[in-house]
Every structure is written in C-alpha cells, then in structure tokens.
A and B are shown apart, each in its own frame.
Chain A
C-alpha cells in the first residue's frame, strides 16, 4: 500500500512539472529590457518559466518600441523565444535632432574656435618665416642686380617667399575670420537648445531621459522614479 502511495505521489509531481515550460528569451535591440507576460512583470532574466499554453508577451527596452506578441509553448518542457526590438520613432527623431544639433554647434562654436586656435598657434611661425624670407629675398635681389648671386638662387628664394607668404595670409585670415565668426555666432550657439528624449517605461511608469551634454559632447542619461 505504501509503495502504491509513493508511486502515485511521484507520478503526480512529474505530471505537475510537465505543465510548465522554461522559456529562454533572445532579445535583439535592447541592452536592458523588461518583460511582461499576461500583464505580469517578470524578473530581469532571460530565462522565465511559464505554464504551458498561449501567453501574451510584452517586451520593452529604453529607446525601443513596445514589443507585443503571443508566446505559444505547446507541450514543450523548454523553448526559445526570439524578439527583435525596433527603435521608437521618437528616439529616431531624437537621434536626428542630436545630429542636427551637433552639426549646428560645430559650425557655430567648435569650427570657429578650432580655426582661430590653430591659426593663432601657427601665426607666429608663419610671421617669422615671412619676415626672414623677405629679408633674404631683398638681399638676394640686391646682390643679383650686381651679379653676385645667380638667377637660380634668386628664383628659389622668390618661390620660398611666395610659399611662406601664402601660409602667413592663410593663418592671418584664419585667425581673423575664425575670431570674428566666433564672436558673431556666439548668440546663435547660445540659442541652440539641447535635444532631449524622454520615454516612460510602460511597465514600471518610471521616466527615462536622454539629453546631450554639450560640454563633454556626449549623451547624458537621467532617470525619474515614481513611487
């Protein structure tokens, strides 16, 4: 009799265990995702156990669209579920606004600053080069007029002077135009609004925010919790 009871108990356990299915989730498109099955939030793991049968599954990750599907386990003890999350249209819009913002910021602030800085750094060297080469050119012209320096030497000096002269004017123009642009475009750069992307977790109702930090020139993540 005891043996019969033990056998029945074991059978009933095995019958219970075969009513559930271990589901391994493969989610593409989100680093950290939230899963809700039949309206119930699941622990943050990629292996979940559900009862055998059909379930409504929802997967959400920050920046992505809410993924909704039907999870059909059949009579399987374990199965895999594949989901591919796609970026939300708001996030795509945010990325476009960020690109536009970065471009505008580059032309209104970074480019003039870089042009001015590089030009000013180079300007002393081009100025000295121009001064020295012009002295050499004047001296060689004087000596060439008296047949004390060959024509080739004078031509060579003239070419060298033309080269350093061009570099001088480029660096001087760069410093002037860059500097003027920097000051003229300063109000434009100030007026630029940093793009932001806000999305509410549909499961936990917490608000996640992505903004662009212009001083470090990279996105900044923020989280607002609701209790």
Chain B
C-alpha cells in the first residue's frame, strides 16, 4: 500500500510539473495581399496553437500555418497557445499591415546612346526620356522613377517585361519579354538581363 501511495504522489507531482504555455509572435510588419505565407510562432511549452487573422474569418490550428491575406489594411493576428489538455492558454496579438507591392524605380546599367527607354508590360508602358545617354555603372546607374508617377502594383500572376531603346526613329529591343511570377519572386531588386544591358526593378510596400 505504501508503494501505491508513492505512485499516487508521484503522479500528482508529475501532473503539477506541466508548465504554462507562453504565446509569442514575431511576424513581419508588412504582408502582401493575395500571397500565401507560411506563418510560424516563437511560442513555448504549448501543445497546439490557434491562429486568428482578424477580418479574414478563417482560423487555423498548428505550430506553423499557411495563410493568404485577402484585403488591404491593418490586421490583428492573434494566436492562443494551449497547454496539454488545453486547460491553460496564453494569447499573443500582433498588428500587421497587409498591403501591395509597387514598383518604386528602375536602374539601368550599361552603355546607352539611346534618347529614350521604354519599359513595356502587359497593361501599358513607361517612357524615360531624360538623361538616357551615357555609360551607366552599378555605382552610377540610370535611375527612372516610377513611384508617384505611375501606380504600378506588382501582380500575383506572371508578367512579361520588355525594355526598348530608341535612337532617332530606330527602336532596339534591349530586354525581350522576360517573364516573372511575382507571386514567388521576392528579390529586391528584381534583375532583368539583356545582352548588353541590365535593368534592376526596385519595389516597396505601399504605405
């Protein structure tokens, strides 16, 4: 019977050793609308975590969950870390900005005697006609401002971009319809290489 008593005591002590869960979130400040993210947490001592994404009604359960933010705006991401048995829990909330990526500016590196550059994409084109002639290096590239002049949101579908140079009435294709899917491309800048010229496309999140 003494052994039995010791067993009961050990079981109670073991059960009481269960530590409280600690919820922790370290998310990015900005997330792009429409993109699928795999979100993780830095929580401790938990058995499972529930994820709530505010206005996006669907919730998830898991340590790491996939999520696509559907709308632009501020979102509260709330996680609740539960202990074994879900009798104890801890909550952590973080506000993130769900936004879009827009092209900020482009840089062109190479030797140019063109009087204007035309960047073409599916839904339009952008023309740069000032200071286009010269030898442009990484340190001193040609810079063409887009943000403010054009509202060019990076799409979630593949997009083909071309760059043309114009001298007098002759047009030369410098970069010919290079297709990229910005759903998966997160490089900043995104580099497009032609035979003699390199174009770098810089983006930033919309405020």
Contacts and interface: CB of A to CB of B under 8 A. Distances in A.
Interface residues of A, number: 18
Interface stretch (A6-14, A80-88, A132-140, A198-206): A132-140
A148 B59 contact: yes
B82 A135 contact: yes
B48 A135 contact: yes
Nearest to A132: B85
Interface string B7-18: 110000000000
A146 B48 contact: no
Contacts of B1: 182
B150 to A, nearest CB: 39
A142 interface: yes
A120 B3 CA distance: 13
B48 A139 contact: yes
A137 B86 CA distance: 9
Contacts of B84: 131, 135
Contact of A138 (B4, B5, B7, B86): B86
B59 A138 contact: no
B176 interface: no
A35 interface: no
A179 interface: yes
A147 interface: yes
A147 B57 contact: yes
B27 interface: no
Contacts of B47: 135
* Consensus secondary structure, chain A interface: helix
Given A175-B8, A182-B1, A148 B58 contact: yes
Given A139-B61, A146-B58, A147-B57, A179 B8 contact: yes
Contacts of A184: none
Chain B CB within 10 Å, residue with most, of A137, A138, A145, A175: A138
Nearest to A117: B4
A139 B47 CA distance: 12
Interface string A123-159: 0000000110011011100110111100000000000
B82 A143 contact: no
Interface string A42-76: 00000000000000000000000000000000000
B30 interface: no
B59 A142 contact: yes
A137 B87 CA distance: 11
A120 B86 contact: no
Interface of A: 116, 120, 130-131, 134-135, 137-139, 142-143, 145-148, 175, 179, 182
The 3 closest A-B pairs by CB, nearest first: A131-B85, A138-B86, A146-B59
